[in-house]
Structures are given as C-alpha cells and as structure tokens.
Amino acid sequence: MIRAATPNDVPEIRAMIRELAAYERAVEQARAGEEQLRDALFGEHPAAFALIAEDDGGTGEVLGFALWFPRFSTWTGTRGMHLEDLYVRPQARGGGHGKALLAALAALCREKGYERFEWWVLDWNQPAIDFYKSLGVEFLEEWKVCRLSGEPLGALAGLAPAPAHGPAAPAAGRG
C-alpha cells in the first residue's frame, strides 16, 4: 500500500534516511533530526513531501518511502518533481514497492501538470540503474550535478553585493 506520510511517520522516515545513507556509504552526512524533518514535511511551509510504502498484509510495517519536492523549468514554464530519496528496505526489495512508489509519484505529476520527474542515482548503484532502465528512464549523461557547500559556499556568499530592495527569494525556513 502506498500512502501520504503523516507526522507519526517521521521517526521511520528518519531511520530509513539513515539506512539509505549507510547503503550509499555516507551515513555521517545524514544529519537531519526528527524535528527538522517534521518541520520540513509538515510545517507551515513544507519544503518537501513524502509517500510511504506499507506492508499489504495488515501489519502496517513501513517498508519504504519516497521524498520529493517541486521544481521549476524556465524552458517549459512548468513545475516538475525532484525525487530526493527513494528507499525500500532490503527485506522488501523485489516486492514491487519501489515501482509502486514511483508509479504513485508519476500519477501525482500527471495530476499536478508536472512535465518532468527527475532524480539522481549514484553511478556505482547498478541495481538501481537497472531498475530505472526497466522503467524507460532517460539518463542525461551530458549533465553534471554541481554542489557548493561548507567553506566554499560561505566564501562565495561573502562575495555577494548588499541586497537591493527586498530579498530575491523567501527567507530561510519560510518557503
């Protein structure tokens, strides 16, 4: 069963984020706490949204999740969806839960008029790559993911001119 996450799911979502980070060999980078996730998913201005995959056998066991947020394309003039995390617990893999989560997200894209559904996959994660290929996913080999964080982010921010009249984007934590 696929359903929208609720605030009661936050401890399980956090646990699965840490499980995913361990699988991706980066557990030390998964620092988000339950309160941060609760605010990001269910606060006044949610930053992201989540779906939960549960056991169909009536136990209600959480088997996986998908966490996404809207994006915008200047080329199409439409919103799209960025899938931040898709995770199915090892004991549930091969049971169709990942495909069901992706299908639910694709249906949500159609419902909302989103033209693009995008995400990243690590180049060494061959099981995920093979799974995505089986769905007809287009791999954008010519694009590189760019990230600026930590000291380099601070250094670049220090070069910014004083703001003109008003912020260009919502204040941190407000949108």
Catalytic site positions: 132
**DSSP letter for each residue of 132-170:** HHHTTPPP-TT-------HHHHHHHHTTPPPP-SS-SSP
Instruction: List, in sequence order, the alpha helices (H) in the chain.
Output: 10-23, 34-42, 97-112, 126-134, 150-157
Buried b (16+ CB within 10 A) or exposed e, 112-129: eebeebebeeeeeeeeee
Tell me which residue has tokens 């799974």. Answer: 131
Here the tokens at position 161 are 């001119």
**Side by side, which strands form the sheet with 117-119?**
2-4, 49-54, 62-73, 78-88, 117-119
